[in-house]
Amino acid sequence: EPEVTQTPSHQVTQMGQEVILRCVPISNHLYFYWYRQILGQKVEFLVSFYNNEISEKSEIFDDQFSVERPDGSNFTLKIRSTKLEDSAMYFCASSPSEQYFGPGTRLTVT
């Protein structure tokens, strides 16, 4: 069964550094999403992407964040100049209708 994959599974970075989180959505899905979950809290929407552009973004998704679909398979989330409070689990999801989640990337900012 096709699934969403994410790399890396765990990323440790120093405050102020840039990180790129990678996702490979399910191949025939058209909508892509990023969510984050700070430890012990609920899952929060960051951004959705359709037809090579952002279709919706939350108030969390400020200028520090960007998304890109650099080729036909990858979907990336870039965080510029990471802060301590960016430490969280980042989930990628893709959908035709139901959203299927990847296993997540645990980002730790030290």
Partner 1 sequence: AQTVTQSQPEMSVQEAETVTLSCTYDTSESDYYLFWYKQPPSRQMILVIRQEAYKQQNATENRFSVNFQKAAKSFSLKISDSQLGDAAMYFCAYRSAETSGSRLTFGEGTQLTVNP
- How long a stretch of residues is the chain? 110
The 74-103 site mask, x for binding partner 1 (CB under 8 A), equals: ---------------x-x-x-x-xxxxx-x
CB of 107 to partner 1, least distance (A): 13
CA–CA separation, 67 and 70 (whole Å): 9
Rg of the chain over Cα atoms, rounded to whole angstroms, equals 13
Q: Which of 55, 73, 81, 110 touches partner 1 by CB under 8 A?
A: 55
Among 5, 7, 11, 37, binds partner 1 (CB under 8 A): 37
Four-residue CA torsion sign, 42, 4, 105, 68: negative
CA atoms within 13 A on the CB side of 54: 14
How many Å apart are CA 47 and CA 12, to the nearest integer?
22
Interface size with partner 1, residues (CB under 8 A): 27
| Residues that bind partner 1 in the complex, under the rule CB under 8 A | 30-31, 33, 35, 37, 41-45, 48, 50, 55-56, 58, 89, 91, 93, 95, 97-101, 103-104, 106
